[in-house]
Amino acid sequence: MIIITGIYPPEKCGVGDYTYNLIHTNSAKDWKLLYFKDWSIKALRYIIKTINSYDDEWICLQYPCVGFNKHITAELLCLYYGIFYKKKKLCVAVHEYSQFAWKRRTLANLIMISADKFIFTTQIERHNVTQRFKSIATKSTVIKILSNIASYAPDKQISERKYSIGYFGFISPNKGIEKYIEDISCVKKKCSNISAFIMGQIQAEQEEYANRIINKAKENEIETFINYEADKVAEILSDTKFAYLPFPDGVSERRGSLLACMSNGCAIISTRGKYTTRELEQSCIIVDEEDSVRKIEDVLTSKKETHEMWQNESTHYIKNLPKSWDEIATKYNEFISC
């Protein structure tokens, strides 16, 4: 099988990290990775020529990713292999669909009518697609993701942890970082002894935005940990009591930052949205826009037993996910071969 991506480490993107972890498993030892940096229309011929130089029957596109850079080449590539070139079969790993604006979704629909098989990372994404394209129900599966960040010391009790509360994720818009700073600055006025941080990576195109966030955090005495290596990220998360992740669209299974915090034993405070499953709602402390500050204050000042209860809920959720990246790669192989 050929895995195709438009982003790959050291470039910063969740899909790139996902692909890296997947390809470096024993179950993927026979896979081939094709990482194309140029996804302009003029590069389409070269991409096709390169893919066709391999004998593999199946190709699997990781979709979408930052590397596609608003070009329509990935969609045209799928049309080519799905409709015009039948010597190879096409599988698309769909990491996101429901969040697309209508223009982006219209382009993504070209993929939905052309691929032979689909792998979704959440049941909700699969449901949203199969509601529009009924035939995809019989040629798709759900393979849940793992965190790109390993566990460091997930069993460390909350009472033994250094940081009161933290935010983790890419430093980019529409991820709730402004809300985090706003709420934590209010909480610190009443609970002056809490320690808080923001930790994440900066993508090149978001550098100006990230610098504003860093300055705003410093003004509010919130520490920042920027572009740390994965092992250091895990170490800090495993020393954090609560992760506050106020996603504008609500907490959902597709959030890798959530899974990173959970896998390192953080109790989770987050928001509810239309993609929040019942299991996630039970595993997280859910706050609303109007009462988030009060509820965070109550949580941070509650008893040790309450803290440990929420930590246990978070840990329990993780137990229902794949145990390793090798397990995920094995599921890819099983699905492709069936």
Give dist(CA 312, CA 333) in Å, integer: 33
Residue 330 exposed, middle or buried by CB count within 10 Å (0-12, 13-18, 19+) = middle
Look at residues 9, 69, 14 and name the one whose alpha carbon lies nearest to residue 33: 9
Burial class (CB in 10 A: 0-12, 13-18, 19+), 61: buried
For the record, the structure tokens of 54 come out as: 């391999």
- One pLDDT digit (tens) per residue for the chain, 338 residues: 999 999 999 988 889 999 999 999 999 999 999 999 999 999 999 999 999 999 999 999 999 988 898 899 999 999 999 988 889 999 999 998 888 888 888 999 999 999 999 999 998 899 999 999 999 999 999 999 888 888 887 788 999 999 999 999 999 998 999 999 999 999 999 888 999 999 999 988 899 999 999 999 999 999 999 999 999 999 999 999 999 999 999 998 888 899 999 999 999 999 999 889 899 999 999 999 889 999 999 999 999 999 999 999 988 888 888 889 999 999 999 999 98
Residue-level pLDDT at 44: 96
CB 258 within 8 A of CB 285: no
| E strand segments, the chain | 2-5, 32-35, 58-63, 89-94, 117-120, 140-142, 163-168, 196-200, 223-226, 240-245, 267-270, 285-286
Residues whose CB falls within 8 Å of the CB of residue 323, separated by 6 or more in sequence, listed in order: none
- Residue 284 CA to residue 302 CA, distance in Å, equals 16
Which domains are present in the chain?
A: 2-146+322-337 (3.40.50.2000), 158-318 (3.40.50.2000)
